[in-house]
């Protein structure tokens, strides 16, 4: 399938895929075609979110294990992170799964949803550090089960989107075999996500999806209208990063904004251009969240407000 030009903000593109609501496996919807870019007839618009990963060193938990925050006097819980995002002036917060205190799963989630509502802030997404490129079926089933648990939690929190990953190619598999298993796992998860009203977004995060071509090969093969790309602006490392992002943007269901890019492995980081990123998203007709995921060296408590201002300025220039 050829990729259409992206200069047209009102791309006349349709979703061929039929609804998978109620399906429990990809096989339950045999007539679905591969997805095409999303039909968004409205004016392109963005809402700015803050990813919890930006403050990863300040949380007391990492993937279910206690960790010592970088500065105890500035330590964060998921509740205080929501407060921080609201106080800084973000429209939304992404509650990355890695930083939840296991004690509040799942009974404490409604309180977080209530808190966000009372502060007038949306919960834009969450993320699961999964791996679908595993040779053993039992291992993939475990990963799928974990993603389904977080789909349920996202639904309970009122979160509309969950980021997932493909995984690296293991020694036991060829790239083609790993890709096929990843596609099958994504279809199972997307079918389940559709029953809960949650979108699944595959992030370009190395391994099977290091390049734009690899990402599009997988995304265009998955048969679900509940699936798309969680586009990370800092995770392509070609000489044409912005072109790669523009090719993938029409399939985006979420965007993670990084303040730096690296054009090749080992290359020095250079500042990202927020005006260029926002332009390519708007040219693709993207409507949704742009989540600042800060990974640079400066203290995020100092850097994040500065980059929020830059994003607001870039948005205001349109």
> 253, 222 in Cβ contact below 8 A?
no
Which domains does the chain possess? 45-316 (3.20.20.150)
Position 270 confidence tier, pLDDT thresholds 50, 70, 90? very high
pLDDT bin (cut points 50, 70, 90) of residue 49 is: very high
| Per-residue pLDDT, 113 | 98
- DSSP 3-state of 197: coil
Q: Is the peptide bond before 106 cis (omega within 30 degrees of 0)?
A: yes
Do strands 252-257 and 287-292 pair parallel, antiparallel, or not at all (unpaired)?
parallel
> Which of the two residues, 42 and 116, has the higher pLDDT score?
116
Tell me the per-residue pLDDT of 111-146, one tens digit each, with 9 for 90 and over: 999 999 999 999 999 999 999 999 999 999 999 999
The pLDDT tens digits of the residues spanning 201-219 come to 999 999 999 999 999 999 9
Enter the DSSP assignment of 34. P
| pLDDT over threshold 70, residue 64 | yes
Helical (H) or strand (E) element with 123: strand 122-127
Task: With beta carbons less than 8 A apart as the criterion, state whether 91 and 128 touch.
Answer: no
* Per-residue model confidence (pLDDT) at position 12: 34
* pTM reported for the whole predicted model: 0.88
The pLDDT of 148-157, averaged and rounded, is 98
Higher local confidence (pLDDT), 236 or 266: 236
Task: Give the DSSP per-residue string, 132-182.
Answer: ---SSHHHHHHHHHHHHHHHHHHHHHT--EEEE---PPPTTS-HHHHHHHH
Residue 1 pLDDT exceeds 70? no
């Amino acid at each position: 399938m050829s990729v259409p030009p992206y200069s047209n903000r009102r791309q006349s593109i349709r979703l061929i895929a039929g609804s998978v609501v109620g399906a429990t496996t990809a096989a339950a919807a045999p007539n679905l075609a591969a997805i095409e870019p999303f039909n968004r007839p409205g004016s392109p618009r963005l809402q700015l979110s803050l990813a919890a990963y930006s403050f990863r060193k300040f949380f007391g938990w990492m993937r279910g294990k206690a960790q010592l925050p970088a500065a105890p006097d500035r330590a964060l819980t998921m509740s205080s992170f929501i407060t921080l995002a609201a106080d800084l002036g973000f429209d939304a917060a992404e509650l990355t799964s890695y930083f939840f205190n296991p004690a509040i799963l799942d009974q404490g989630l409604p309180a977080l949803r209530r808190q966000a509502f009372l502060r007038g802030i949306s919960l834009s997404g969450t993320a699961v550090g999964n791996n679908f490129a595993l040779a053993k079926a039992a291992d993939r089933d475990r990963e799928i089960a974990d993603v389904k648990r977080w789909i349920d939690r996202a639904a309970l929190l009122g979160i509309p989107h969950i980021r997932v990953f493909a995984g690296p190619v293991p020694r036991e598999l060829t790239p083609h075999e790993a890709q096929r298993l990843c596609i099958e796992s994504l279809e199972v998860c997307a079918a389940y996500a559709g029953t809960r009203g949650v979108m699944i977004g595959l992030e370009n995060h190395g391994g099977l999806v290091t390049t734009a071509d690899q990402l599009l090969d997988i995304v265009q093969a998955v048969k679900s209208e509940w699936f798309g790309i969680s586009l990370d602006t800092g995770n392509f490392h070609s000489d044409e990063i912005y072109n790669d992002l523009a090719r993938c943007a029409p399939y985006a269901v979420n965007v993670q904004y990084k303040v730096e890019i690296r054009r090749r492995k080992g290359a020095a980081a250079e500042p990202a251009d927020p005006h260029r990123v926002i332009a390519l998203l708007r040219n693709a007709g993207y409507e949704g969240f742009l989540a600042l995921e800060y990974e640079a060296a400066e203290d995020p408590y100092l850097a994040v407000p500065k980059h929020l201002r830059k994003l607001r300025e870039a948005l205001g220039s349109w």
